[in-house]
Structure 1
Amino acid sequence: MTCNWRSRIAISVLEGFKRKYDAGSFTDTEIDIQGTIFRCHKVFLSAISDYFHAMFSSGMRESLDGKVTLEGITIETFRDILDFYYDSQGNIVCTDNVEEILRAATLLQMGCLQERCEEFYVDQLSVENAIGIWQLAKCLNCESLKKKAMDFVLEYFVEVGNQEEIIGLECPDLLEVLSNDDLKVPSEDMVCDIALRWVQHDWKRRKCFLRDLCKTVRTSLLSDVCLHKLLTLADRAEGSADGENNLTIVDEDICNKEMHTYVDLKQSQKPRNYEEVLVTIGVRVSAGLLPSVNAYSFLEGKWFALEQLPLDPGAGFAVCAYNNHIYISGRHGRKTYLLDYDSSVDQWLHCPEMPDNRCYHEMVASNDSLYVIGGCNKREGALASVYVYNILERKWHHFSHLLFGVYSTSCAVIGNTLFVFGGRGMGSRRTQEVQAMNLTNGTATIVHLFPTPITESRALSDGDEAFVCTTNGSVMKIFEDGAVFNVAKMPNFDRYNFGVFLHRGLLVVTGGDTRYPSGLGAFDDMIQVIIDDKEKLSKETVVMRDKLYPFASAFGCQKIILHRSFLRRPALPEHQADDAGEEDKC
């Protein structure tokens, strides 16, 4: 039997030092911490600390008389350090002492202990403390921890940016974060909003940094609304006592942008490495192409092909996005499936199969879980069951039941409530009820009745409200108590299989088919729906210049943040488009 003698010898030597330390044997130096004396071994301290090694080998007084006084370290902290090394107590590092131990480890140049503290901090990284840990690592020159903390800030900046810690940063630190090309943000507007919020938090002291912040924000990529906010603040700074004309910090070409136009990227600051893209899944069956996954870059105005699905998703699959992943559930042949698109590597991963056979169901995400709602199958008809998939545990379990089964419905989560809008029930009956389910206890109720039945609608959540778009073009806002309000009507709209998403704070409806031939075929447009009265224009809808790629289905339609390196393959090569045939329904 082989034996790791290196480890056994190391353990034996360490245990021997521990026995000698406990007995006070052969100790040849005294460490004075706030008047408390620790009797230690020079050779041991020299082995674990470059600080002590340099001291004891330099001929300094401490190396001759065997007495060392250390300032800036508490008795408890030095005792913890000795326990860590003499007794191998790695668990000595905890929330209460990690900062003091890390400061001491960097001062005394104790590499192993510093690594343990950094490892502890990395395990504790969260959106609430990432900025603070990054600043601590910068202060102590802990390069590894600084990089990992910064990587966390960049990855989860959507959440980190909403924390008060970022408003407390000094300008150089804020600029370091906001200027990073790997900042993962849905749009440049978020970067600008944080910069403006930071300045306004302490206007008198911080207004002088507005010029530097504007150089950091990619101003040419801002929406008109956000650009107006920036110019307004610059105008305010211009009228300040220092008399500096801050309007000159914004390029005149950018100031002259017209509403709903796009910036020429050749004249713009370069985009970041990440951008928010629109991802659509599937193509029209009659196009003769396999189901595809494509992403649209609003900055470039182009469609790109992503990693393709590992299987045909079949009819009536469900799609949702969560934590920058896209999930698809449905039925492939006689088997069910759940697929996970990992946007960090552009790959589809197989998850445990959905427990029961269903299609034309809905799927929404909340609190690290996916909820599969309703649907139908040949044996049972319309399904009332709700299953939940725990993303972290990778496990399915039955959650609850709706009051009655529905399929071809739409769903949204507001707070802790799941709303189910209309759909088809048993016997294909079109329903008009809004069912609500408490996600804590699974109880279901009916909270509203639409004036007429609705099916094949589309819904999405936006904070403490949701929006529902129907096949006749009505757009309704849903509040947390289930109240429903009509907010817009798209003219001449009669579509199904369309997609809905939010872009720059506005609801966008895209694509779809019609049951009534009009000579137009399938739709490829994107329609902005103006639903905020404060920003309402003369028309309720605006047709964007952006369009779907040829033969696209907008049914599986989600927005995620993607690294630009994945945007390299055209969505549909021309020769495929030429051979695809006539467009038709999904």
Structure 2
Amino acid sequence: MLENLGELDQHFLKVNCRPATGNGLPALHSASEMGELQIQVEGKLFTVDKSLLVRSSEYFRALFESGMRESTQEEIQLHGFSSLGFLILIRVLSGERPILDADEILCAIECAAFLQAEALVRHLKNLLNSDNCLLMYHAAATFGLLDLAHGAALYIRDVRHELPGYPESLPTDLLDYVEKLPPSTFVAVGAHTPTFEFLEDVSRAICYLDEDENRWLTLGCLPDNASTFLAGITSLDNKIYIVGGVHGANKLIVDLSFCYDVEGDSWSQFPSPQQLRYDVALVGHEGHLYAIGGELNRVSLKSVEKYKVSSKTWDFVSDLPQPAAGVPCAKAMGRIFVCLWKPLDTTIIYEYHLEEDAWLPLTSIKRQQSYGHCMVAHRDNLYMMRNGPSDDFLRCIIECFNISTCQWTSLSGQFVNSKGALFTAVVRGDTIFTVNKALTLLYAVEGNMWKPKKEKPGFSKGGSLHTFLLRLPKGRQKAAPKSIGDVFPLPEV
């Protein structure tokens, strides 16, 4: 937390910054040809690289291109926001990801709105949680940060029944906006390989959990020639993306990629990665897909490709530190993390740094005869699920790594039942959804533990599972009253 300016000044001097003349406040340094600018806010003087401001703020971009007197001055004075808010902006622009309390959030929102600083808005969106979502929603709407307000409203829609102060703390217009939004729905798809077109294969069904009626319903069906077996599957901007996959005993690769648009209830194809691969990890992040590792001809790959959705193009980015398939991945605080294994018994978590295009080791953990098999994020915590010793895959143990404090802790208890171990999980608010054949179990995240919250029906299909959250249009939900068993007869479980 940023307790006060004095403590923050001392911290900031330690992270790639130098003090401005005479005041001890932070300043960013760059070799930019634009030089530096001194900015005075509430009597505090900040020395900042001009090019950094131009890249990061619509306000400064317009100022320096305007030809006005201020555009050529070496020092300017700004009003309309606090020095604390500007200090938080500088920290974010320097690459830090500070955790903010309520007062700091308000200062940051005020600064982001005045300077039109998109990087600070993205950071605030990454900080959204059940403790601050109401505050962020109200403040962002007041200051006109519509993207942040919408993101906070979506978050509130998912957790509104568990929020103290809801709905009475919101004005009527903001409350109405939240209530009109569709909630996140838990969606699952099982392992499927292409079959003859005339066969109605139950494994082609994409299903969602109707929490009110306590049953799984069909959302749609995979295309005939799509495979989810050893495929990379993820959701991005309320769409499902499928890359790779195999069919047949010889693991013949499917060289087609598919996208499902929930809003339009339609499938389309999009270009496949330049390097065909299966058992690939697929991550969606800020308008891009990342195809990480995988296999080809039974050989593990370390190459990684990035797909830009807007231009429909794939480009190679930095390789993984080692070849790997089926890589556990998670996103936390707007950052991408993967688990890789090292003999003997070591799991290493790497972070992908987008700006540097580099995979950098973050931490490692060593457990006898045990490696990380699944990873999920909640707030600034990464939860790594691993099998028990001696390859006991019915015994699931969870380790937690906090990316802010860089500390490991172990969750109490074991997560296991006779129908399968916990190797798939999705987070919605402070609730973690897990599923296997026997049941869908919801956990409440409370401190350093998961507490069982609710039990729902299991997903009665064999093979591996892919799970994610989607926002289903209200009309779509009403139009799909049949259960999966009504569409495709299910075998006895």
TM-score tier by shorter-chain length is 0.5 to 0.7
After superposition, the C-alpha distances for 1:354-381 in whole angstroms (9 at most, x for unaligned) are 22222222111222111111111226x1
1:283–1:289 contact (8 Å) kept in structure 2? no
2:92 maps to none
After superposition, the C-alpha distances for 1:329-350 in whole angstroms (9 at most, x for unaligned) are 2235443233222121122221
3-state DSSP of counterpart to 2:137: coil
- Alignment pair present for 1:436 and 2:360: no
Equivalent residue in structure 2 for 1:558, among 463, 468, 484? 468
1:485 maps to 409
One-letter code of the match for 1:464?
A: D
2:439 maps to 525
- Alignment pair present for 1:447 and 2:362: yes
3-state DSSP of counterpart to 2:183: strand
What is the correspondence of 1:208-223 to structure 2 with a 5 Å cutoff?
none
- Alpha-carbon separation, structure 2, partners of 1:329 and 1:191: 37
1:371–1:190 Cα change, 3 Å: farther
1:480–1:541 Cα change, 3 Å: closer
1:366–1:284 Cα change, 3 Å: closer
- Alignment pair present for 1:368 and 2:287: yes
- Cα offset, 1:483, TM superposition: 4.3
1:301 maps to 214
- Alpha-carbon separation, structure 2, partners of 1:541 and 1:346: 36
Equivalent residue in structure 2 for 1:291, among 198, 204, 217? 204
1:469 maps to 385
- Alpha-carbon separation, structure 1, partners of 2:259 and 2:156: 20
- Alpha-carbon separation, structure 2, partners of 1:318 and 1:275: 25
- Alpha-carbon separation, structure 2, partners of 1:542 and 1:343: 30
2:242–2:259 contact (8 Å) kept in structure 1? yes
- Alpha-carbon separation, structure 1, partners of 2:240 and 2:156: 17
- Cα offset, 1:388, TM superposition: 0.6
- Alpha-carbon separation, structure 2, partners of 1:296 and 1:561: 12
What is the correspondence of 1:76-475 to structure 2 with a 5 Å cutoff?
162=137, 164-167=139-142, 185-189=157-161, 195-198=167-170, 274-282=182-190, 289-310=202-223, 311-332=225-246, 333-378=252-297, 381-415=299-333, 417-423=335-341, 432-452=347-367, 454=370, 457-471=373-387, 472-475=395-398
- Cα offset, 1:283, TM superposition: 5.1
- Alpha-carbon separation, structure 1, partners of 2:331 and 2:440: 24
- Cα offset, 1:529, TM superposition: 3.4
3-state DSSP of counterpart to 1:533: coil
- Alpha-carbon separation, structure 1, partners of 2:155 and 2:331: 28
After superposition, the C-alpha distances for 1:210-268 in whole angstroms (9 at most, x for unaligned) are xx999x699xxxxxxxxxxxxxxxxxxxxxxxxxxxxxxxxxxxxxxxxxxxxxxxxxx
1:375–1:424 Cα change, 3 Å: farther
1:422–1:433 contact (8 Å) kept in structure 2? yes
One-letter code of the match for 2:137?
A: N
One-letter code of the match for 1:459?
A: M
One-letter code of the match for 2:312?
A: R
1:500 maps to 425
1:417–1:276 Cα change, 3 Å: closer
1:549–1:408 Cα change, 3 Å: closer
Extract unaligned runs of 5+ from structure 1: 1-94, 97-127, 133-157, 170-176, 200-208, 219-270, 512-522
- Alpha-carbon separation, structure 1, partners of 2:342 and 2:202: 30
3-state DSSP of counterpart to 1:551: coil
Query: Identity percentage over the alignment?
Result: 13
One-letter code of the match for 2:440?
A: M
One-letter code of the match for 1:479?
A: N
1:277–1:295 contact (8 Å) kept in structure 2? yes
- Alpha-carbon separation, structure 2, partners of 1:364 and 1:296: 23
One-letter code of the match for 2:425?
A: V
- Alpha-carbon separation, structure 1, partners of 2:353 and 2:487: 51
1:516 maps to none
- Alpha-carbon separation, structure 2, partners of 1:548 and 1:320: 21
TM-score (norm 2): 0.57
2:8 maps to none
**Greater Cα shift, 403-412 or 184-193:** 184-193
3-state DSSP of counterpart to 2:472: strand
1:184–1:532 Cα change, 3 Å: closer
TM-score (norm 1): 0.49
2:484 maps to 572
By percentage of residues, which structure has more helix? 1
2:430–2:444 contact (8 Å) kept in structure 1? no
**Larger Cα-atom Rg:** 1
- Alpha-carbon separation, structure 1, partners of 2:442 and 2:155: 27
1:184–1:561 contact (8 Å) kept in structure 2? no
1:475–1:508 Cα change, 3 Å: farther
3-state DSSP of counterpart to 1:435: strand
By percentage of residues, which structure has more strand? 2
- Alpha-carbon separation, structure 2, partners of 1:193 and 1:417: 30
- Cα offset, 1:581, TM superposition: 3.9
- Alpha-carbon separation, structure 2, partners of 1:345 and 1:455: 41
Counting matched residue pairs gives: 336
- Cα offset, 1:279, TM superposition: 0.8
Aligned-residue CA RMSD in angstroms? 4.2
After superposition, the C-alpha distances for 1:150-175 in whole angstroms (9 at most, x for unaligned) are xxxxxxxx999736243579xxxxxx
